[in-house]
Structure 1
Amino acid sequence: MPTKPLVAPVRGFAVVEFEHRTLQLQKHMREQQVDAVFFTTEPEFRYFSGFKSQFWESPTRPWFLVVPAEGKPIAVVPEIGVSGFDQTWIEDVRSWPSPRPEDDGISLLATTLAEVSTRFRRVGAMLGPETHLRMPAQNFVALQQILMHHELVDVSSSVREIRSIKSQAEIEKVHFACGVAAAGFEYLRGHLSAGMTEREACKAMHLEMLRLGADNCPYLISSSGLGGYDNIIMGPTDRVLNDGDVLIIDTGTNFDGYFCDFDRNFGFGDVDSGTLRAYDAVYAATEAGLNIAAPGCTTGDVWQAMWTELEKGGALGNDVGRMGHGLGMQLTEWPSHVPNGDVELKAGMVLTLEPGMAFAPNKMMVHEDNIVITESGCELLHDRTWQTMPLI
């Protein structure tokens, strides 16, 4: 069980935090000569406004947030959502009666953008890697046509740089989510048995994490197999866990809109020695990552430190494409630990270390832990995984 009681942090953020986030973005905007930025996706919308709603699950209505070069953001939203902004720091809320497919907020958005983008006539949006626009393609085309005398530019690199450095309040939320998941894994270790299915194991852990304080667990996957598993993104299935099997569970538990993301491995009965050696190798690789992750280090340095240990352990390869990533309002965020990665780590970054390797044909072993970069190194956001594979 965790060494300290799980105490949930205060929900939400102080207004000063939203002011700071907005001022950071506006500094980047001035440097790029961008008059206004508009957001369409929930993480960015919530990050700069504080508006948190489950209504994002519905694809029926678009939502827009406009950040001008000076002053507070402006919400351009369906009428059904206006009252929700009473709980935010946003004062200028403009609305239309959505759903209205013939003009679902596009003319109102265009008018708002034109109003605040008269100096450089440059409008920013999230157009880079790992982003998307949450609006129909034809609506985006219509917006471009209305703003044909404006230049549309990508601001995703600025936004991801700002979001990559977490405040203490953000870190506390991730820390709590991590503590809940770690306790869930420990609970499961004491309640697993041969004869259970993957799905039954995951449900038992899911219920325990909700009991411990998780708001939800939208990401909980598993895989299993004799002597290891051949994928880490499917399941859970109704496969029965038997002697010699290895089960991996990877979870992204959420608290107040912030995720954890890490996995644990469980062996059943008599697990072959090659699998146990692979477990030891990924454990050692995580240690190497923990030892090197610090301000000034790069994502490529972290990758290389972990890969060196995996090669020593007999790794045949790694087909995941990376060995960890940023973490926060989204299950995976920028940056990624990749070969020759050049993103410099900075204090306040929350990241995962996820060394993984193929150790035999169609057999994988993966560990994933969550860390925060400090002024002098890094700290785990949960109890360290078991040094040797637990055998059920």
Structure 2
Amino acid sequence: MAPRLTAPKRGFSPAEFERRLARAQTIMAQYQLDGLLLTTPHNIRYFTGFDSQFWESPTRPWFLVVPVTGLPIAVIPEIGAPEMALTWIKDIRTWPAPMPADDGLSLLAGVISALPRRHGRIGAELGREMTIRMPVIEFLALRERLPVEVTNGSPCIWDIRMVKTEAEVAHIHHICQIASDAYEALPGKVRIGDNEREACRRLRIDIAERGADATPFLPAISGPGGVPQIVCGPHDRTLVEGDILFLDTGSTYDGYFCDFDRNYAIGKVSDAARRAHEAVWDATEAGITAARPGNTTEDVWRTMAKIVQDAGSIGNNVGRLGHGLGLQLTEPPSHMPGDNTVIREGMVLTIEPGMEYAPGKMIVHEENVVITVEGARLLTKRAPRELPVIS
């Protein structure tokens, strides 16, 4: 059994949620919103701490109304009321879902209609990297019933969630350390002749034994000297001399994700592959240095892109060189041209340069950092510049 790290306490105090709400309401006022209508697990969990495996069932919608003044109101199926009552939320309205003829719609419309109105606008999850977790036809019907405009609240929501609290960072740091230790131990668990699925399974088991709650994301891809993509797999392909094995884990602790990869040399790999890995490692180092308060995400992208281009990159099908991280595997912002998000203290970011150094041979490297007043601080254990070897 792998040793377990000392874990942060699960859950968050009412004071933590009160601070989140106070900051959120300040931001909502800046966006001239009278409230937010939230329907997705991540946004509801951010404000309430409520979690349930029952999210896997799409039958019942769940709602949280966050007013610009006052406390959040949960409008949920009555089956979820006992667990919601264990959170800091006190105002819980329920209906006997599922009830297709009126699945909480009248109840929700009444709650929103009763909110104090100053701007006549409610923000919903309509924009960037957001979804509405209710039937679209019912959402459209809700809009028709309300005396206020339902507008795109996603920019406001991301402004709220993009900067993490100290408690959130502690959760992310913990899962990053768990995965880092499992990565370091992997060469002792995998051999030439194993296949991608076996390598992936052993890493997943080790991460779980070290204290992770789940590993929803764990692609494993191998190829001679590099890989053609980084989001699919594992497959039944056998690991042979000269391969690069790429693994990328999005594991969770108490709802919060890590997201970083590691590359391994299978026996002896080509000098070209080693040079490409070193170039991507150097680009990561430069990206970490560039991720400072006041710089933009495009600044970070430009810094890394120059290094891999100078090293002979012929492309990168990922489309960006890193992103935000938290309650979701990927969150805004993106390190890419045109995303000029100003980096702020408290953001948690992935630094993820990659390069295709020959057709079908790509190497990508990734670390997770939190932004402090001094600059980026690693949450992961830094990978070695030299490829670890599986023999």
What is the TM-score of this pair, normalised by structure 2?
0.97
Q: Which one-letter code corresponds to 1:216 in the other structure?
A: A
Aligned residue for 1:260?
258
Deviation at 1:117, TM superposition (A): 4.5
| Range with bigger deviation, 149-158 or 54-63 | 149-158
Query: Aligned residue for 2:175?
Result: 177
**Structure 1: distance between partners of 2:212 and 2:193:** 28
Residue 381 of structure 2: aligned partner: 383
**Superimposed CA distance per residue, residues 20-46 of structure 1 (whole angstroms, 9 cap, x where no aligned partner):** 111222223323332221100011101
The answer to whether the 8 A contact 1:36-1:117 is kept is no
The total of aligned residue pairs comes to: 389
> Counterpart of 1:128?
127
Which residues of 2 match residues 297-376 of structure 1 at below 5 A?
A: 297-376=295-374
Partner of 1:64: 63
Counterparts of 1:92-171 in structure 2 under 5 Å? 92-147=91-146, 149-171=147-169
Structure 2 counterparts to residues 187-266 of structure 1, below 5 A: 187-266=185-264
Residue 22 of structure 2 corresponds to which residue in structure 1?
A: 23
Provide the secondary structure at the position in 2 that maps to 1:330.
coil
Name 1:81's counterpart in structure 2: 80
Q: Look up the SS of the partner of 2:303 in the other structure.
A: helix
Q: Distance in 2 between matches of 1:387 and 1:30?
A: 47
Asked if 2 retains the 8 angstrom alpha-carbon contact of 1:301 and 1:340, the reply is no
> Shift of the alpha carbon at 1:5?
7.0
- Contact in 1 for aligned 2:324/2:349 (Cα 8 Å): yes
Indicate the SS of the match to 1:87.
coil
- Aligned mates of 1:257, 1:271 — CA distance in 2: 38
Preserved contact between residue 229 and residue 246 of structure 1 (Cα < 8 Å): yes
Matched residue type, 1:308: K
AA at the equivalent of 1:65: L
Partner SS, residue 188 of structure 1? helix
Q: Deviations over 1:136-175 (max 9, x none)?
A: 111111111212x421111211211121111111111000
Secondary structure of the residue aligned to 2:249 is strand
Aligned equivalents of 1:16 and 1:325: distance in 2?
A: 29
**What is the percent sequence identity of the aligned residues?**
49
Q: Secondary structure at the match of 1:18?
A: helix
Quote the RMSD (CA, aligned, Å). Answer: 1.4
Question: How far apart are 1:375 and its partner, in Å?
Answer: 0.7
Give me the whole-angstrom Cα distance separating, in 2, the residues matched to 1:117 and 1:253. Answer: 41
Q: Which shows bigger deviation, 188-197 or 119-128?
A: 119-128
- The worse-fitting range, judged by mean Cα deviation, of 110-119 and 128-137 is 110-119
The equivalent of 2:280 in structure 1 is 282
Does the 8 Å CA contact 1:301/1:341 hold for their aligned counterparts?
no
Secondary structure of 1:116 counterpart = coil
Q: Any stretches of 5+ residues in structure 1 without a counterpart?
A: none
Secondary structure class of the residue paired with 2:85: helix
1:108 Cα deviation after fit: 0.8
Inter-partner Cα distance in structure 1 for 2:118 and 2:385: 59
Q: Which runs of 5+ in 2 are unaligned?
A: none
For 1:36, the equivalent position in structure 2 comes to 35
Given that residues 32 and 121 in structure 2 are in contact (C-alpha distance below 8 angstroms), is that contact kept between their aligned partners in structure 1?
A: yes
Contact 2:276 2:363 in 1 (8 A): yes
Secondary structure in 1 matching 2:374: coil
CA drift at 1:243:
0.9
Instruction: Note the C-alpha offset of 1:391.
Output: 2.1
| Cα offsets for 1:225-282 (capped at 9, x unmatched) | 1121101010011111111111100000100000000000011122111111110110
After superposition, give the CA deviation of every residue in 1:191-213 in whole Å (9 maximum; x if it has no partner).
22111010000110111111100
Amino acid at match of 2:131: H
- Local SS of the residue matching 1:65: strand
Aligned mates of 2:260, 2:170 — CA distance in 1: 17
How far apart are the structure 2 equivalents of 1:391 and 1:89? 49
Q: How far apart are the structure 1 equivalents of 2:209 and 2:154?
A: 37
Contact 2:4–2:209 (Cα < 8 Å) also in 1: no
| CA drift at 1:118 | 3.9
Establish whether residue 91 from structure 1 lines up as the match of residue 90 from structure 2: yes
Q: What displacement does 1:384 show?
A: 0.6
| C-alpha separation in 2, matches of 1:252 and 1:79 | 32
Tell me what 2:184 maps to: 186
The answer to whether the Cα contact below 8 Å between 2:208 and 2:214 also exists between their aligned partners in 1 is yes
User: Which consecutive aligned stretches of 4+ in structure 1 deviate over 3 angstroms post-superposition?
Assistant: 117-120
- The letter for the 2-side match of 1:372 is V
CA distance in structure 2 between the partners assigned to 1:276 and 1:194 by the alignment: 19
Q: State whether residues 36 and 68 of structure 1, in contact with CA within 8 Å, keep that contact through their aligned partners in structure 2.
A: yes
* Structure-1 separation of matches of 2:77 and 2:385: 52
> Normalising to structure 1: TM-score of the pair?
0.96
Letter matched to residue 342 of structure 2? E
Closer, same or farther: CA 300–245 of 1 in aligned 2, 3 Å: same
- The 3-state SS of whatever aligns with 2:384 is coil
